Structure 1
Amino acid sequence: MTAFFPSGAPNQSASGTLSTVNSAVTLATDTLGSVDFALAGSPVGATVAFEATSDGTNWVASKAYPKGGTGAAGSTTAAAAGVYNVSAGGAKQVRARLSAITSGSFTVVANGTAAPAHVGVKNGNAADLQVTSTPVPASATPDRSGTINGAVSGAAIAAGGSGYAVGNTITLANGIVLTVATVNGSAVATVALTTPGNVSYANVQAMTNPVAQASSSGSGTGATFILTWVGVATLFAAANASRKSLEIINPGTLPLYAATTINNPAQGVPGSIPIAAGGSWQPPIPHQGAVYVYGSVAGQPVTMFEG
């Protein structure tokens, strides 16, 4: 099976933490057209300056445009988390430099691509003429970011309850189903996973251990369980015949995998595209079907923009 994303020029990436004045994340841009700087965190009194150099020594302010919408004005600084695009045309390097801070830090992931995103012109924001290579249709929702869903990987018995028989099914919240494998008297001794679920991370966090049954196919009551979780393939973008652009960024510390069906995105499965920690993938010819992303741990962050 071949990958559904066609291969293109390799992206470049760098990452780091900005916690002191003049700390910076810098990316060489000799082969790049533009760079996305993904800022995460909630520091107090922080300002990040976007800068470029053509000689490696002298740095000048470079206008950055917030992603996730159309018509946003460019600025040479940012004070809030988000993804900001900087043109790399003619620059030897670009960087995000912390110019002020009171406390806390920003985590920064820089991802560069050969494709240009903005063409800057002189004068004020109203005349910036944001020429984008991937215009966003008015009907599209460009920011598809979120977290990897969870599936139950194990269910240990916290309390066996009573009234159960082998073969009874026990349904928990969010559609998770267990089957009684063995009993001790009429108390549950062990269970098998029948339906591990595909549960949003918010609901995973809400299912605090021990988890009680919602219902049972038999007359048993009182069983509770200690659940463990793994990541599962998660739908981030439904099929979109008008899709003109797609970018997936991995702002976390563990790999992600992208694919077109829920069966594909798993480590080592042919057809899935690995996205390393701090890396990104922006296919030159966007797939217009559904896009799933897999991560091994529930709650892994995913940044995705669709145009």
Structure 2
Amino acid sequence: MSVETATALPPSESTAAQTWRAFRRNPLGVAGGLVLVALALVAIAAPLLADYPSGSSDDVLVGPSAGHPLGTDDLGRDVFGQVVWGTRMSIAVGFAASVLAIIAGTAIGVAAAYFKRLDTALGVLVDLSLSLPVLPLMILIAALVGPSATTLIIVIAAFSWPEVARVVRSQAMTVMPQQFIAAANVIGGSNTWIIRKHVLPGVAPVVVVSVVMTTSRAVLSEAGLSFLGLGDPDNWSWGTILHNAQQSGSLTTAWWTTLFPSVAILLLVVSTTLLSVAYNDARNPKTR
């Protein structure tokens, strides 16, 4: 091959570029990403979209109308405002709990794969945590500590990290036999440096998927706990809307008080699932 021909050849596409190109070809994954972006924008722009629902009015249990696009509840509060402000609280709690779970799960998963002497003990800890009845324990702890956003975040994170740890450990185990890990040890690299420079980048794709899926599960957990009356009493969330509808008896008589927050939860869960599946397919050379 001549020098001119070699120069004319396009440079090899990076893995990130190949992943992005494959992801863009998946319409369901793109749609899921757009829905998540839209929900995030609603959460950020909540004060601009609707007034904070408080107090009461004479428009009690009014169905969807021009004045109240999603109807009103038993106290005459606008359901649209509840759903909009509930988006902020639900996503904030879910994302914060997910971040804590990701940090703990990644640290434990990487430690188990890198330090062989810790693998058995950490593996037993993860298996034991996964075998616990999560929902009853969440309810018990939240009830004992008291309802608040901080309690929800800590409780959800405490029971979400084991799944992250298992996935990260599995991915890290495929990175450890690589030659660059052995070379880093030969040149005298410290454990911290090797983990930061080589192991963490190797598990990063799995962590990205874990962030999305863990956030989805955290939002579901927050909605479940709030529905049981264990949510933050000072803030609206999707679960709180459902709890108020159940407490007021309008759960079955006023369909709009339960339909719209339920649709919001469904949109988030489905979109995160589609996004994570599309991303997994895009980064896998066999399914690109």
Which TM-score band applies after superposition, normalised by the shorter structure?
A: under 0.3
Provide TM-score, normalisation by structure 2.
0.23
Q: Which has the higher strand share?
A: 1
Q: Which has the higher helix share?
A: 2
Provide TM-score, normalisation by structure 1.
0.22
- RCO higher in structure (CA 8 A, sep ≥6): 2
